[in-house]
Structure formats: C-alpha cells, structure tokens
C-alpha cells in the first residue's frame, strides 16, 4: 500500500490536455512503485487500468496491472472467496467502456456476480461490445448534460423496467453517473447502484 505516496494515475488531466501534469503524476507514481518494489497493482477503475497498462510503459513504468474484477475472479478460482450471506437480489450488470470495449474484460465481472448465492444476474438490453456508455467517458464526466439526454438516465430507467434491485458496475465514473440519475429520476428506493466489490462485501457479511 503506497498510502500518501500514491498519486492519481493522471488519466483525467491528460484527457483535458495537460500532458506535462500527466507526466509529472506518472513519474511520481513510477518512482513510488520502484521504491516499494511493486511488481503488480490492483485498480478499481478501468480508466486507471488502461492508463497503467498502455501509457506508463512509454515512460519506463511498466508494471503488471489487474482490474479488481480480475483479482476477485482469480480468488474465486482458487477457492479463496467465500460468502456468508444469501443476497436474493436481481442485479443488472453494466459493462464500462474502458473495461469492456477497450480491454475485453467481460467474463470476470459476470463470473463474480454470478457466484454470489441468491443473485439473479441480468444483462442490459445492449451489453458487452454493444453496451451504452454511461455518459462519463471522454471527459464528459465533467460536463452538465440536460435531464433526459443522459445515457445514465436511460440505463437507470431500463434497469428499473427490468425489475432489478441493483444496478452493478465496475467503474467509478459509471457509479457517479448512475447514482446521480437515480436521484434526478426519482428512483431512490427503487434501485440501488453498487460497485461489484460492494456486492461481494455484502455477500461476505462485511457490508459497511
């Protein structure tokens, strides 16, 4: 754990055109990795995953990177992920753009969610390679979009129509957009938005 020496991966500032700031953040992280002898990192953001995997090697900062869903799926395969609670929830899974289309990680999130006792796992109408963006990609997370024009509104309405209890995903941008859409669409109490890790924690009896 890097603690205070951990900096942002720099993805957002690079998207905004601040190349020098990105390189500064990246070099700071690379130095921290080397100091601690880091060989492998685990990230919860697909944007961080792509940045560490694709951009850091160009700055001599290559390191093995796993998305959290890959790590959880590996634990499951090794019999090291066990559950104490039956959730009895209908869950719709949303494929984040940078996890799915950009990196081809489709099976691990579904494997993890599908392993939880009592969970009925459903796909969105358009899923995997055809999944709709939540509306936060390409810097749009920082834009204000009119109600009804947001992809997140469409996907929240769809999840409710499918009878889902939880809309689960594996990207912080998606989480922010979906949670906001639940509020602005008056769906509070009808639909929960959770990261896969939160669902796993709940099934392990460790929900916070």
| Length of the chain (residues) | 208
> Domain residue spans in the chain?
3-70, 80-203
Contact 190, 68 (CB under 8 A): no
Q: What is the largest CA-CA distance in the chain?
A: 51
Residues 133-143 as b or e (16 or more Cβ within 10 Å = b): bbbbbeebbee
pLDDT in tens, 161-193: 999 999 999 999 999 999 999 998 999 999 999
143-162 average pLDDT score: 84
Q: What's the CATH class of domain 80-203?
A: alpha beta
The CB-side HSE value for 193 (13 A sphere, CA atoms) comes to 25
Q: What percent of the chain has pLDDT over 90?
A: 78
Output the pLDDT for position 176. 93
Give pLDDT tens digits for 63-110: 999 999 999 999 999 999 999 999 999 999 999 999 999 999 999 999
């Amino acid at each position: 754990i890097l603690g205070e020496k951990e900096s942002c991966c720099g993805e957002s500032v690079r998207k905004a055109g601040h190349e020098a700031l990105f390189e500064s953040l990246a070099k700071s992280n690379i130095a921290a990795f080397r100091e601690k002898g880091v060989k492998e990192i685990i990230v919860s953001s697909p944007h961080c995953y792509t940045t560490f995997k694709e951009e850091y090697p160009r700055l001599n900062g290559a390191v093995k990177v796993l998305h959290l869903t890959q790590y959880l799926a590996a634990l499951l395969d090794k019999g090291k992920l066990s559950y104490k609670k039956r959730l009895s929830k209908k869950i719709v899974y949303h494929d984040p753009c940078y996890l799915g289309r950009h990196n081809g990680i489709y099976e691990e999130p579904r494997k993890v969610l599908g392993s939880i006792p009592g969970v009925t796992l459903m796909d969105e109408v358009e899923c995997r390679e055809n999944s709709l963006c939540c509306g936060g990609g390409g810097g749009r997370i920082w834009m204000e979009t009119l109600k009804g024009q947001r992809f997140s509104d469409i996907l929240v309405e769809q999840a409710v129509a499918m009878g889902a209890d939880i809309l689960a995903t594996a990207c912080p941008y998606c989480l922010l957009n979906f949670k906001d859409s639940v509020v602005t669409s008056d769906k509070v109490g009808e639909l929960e938005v959770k990261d896969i890790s939160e669902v796993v924690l709940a099934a392990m009896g460790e929900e916070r």
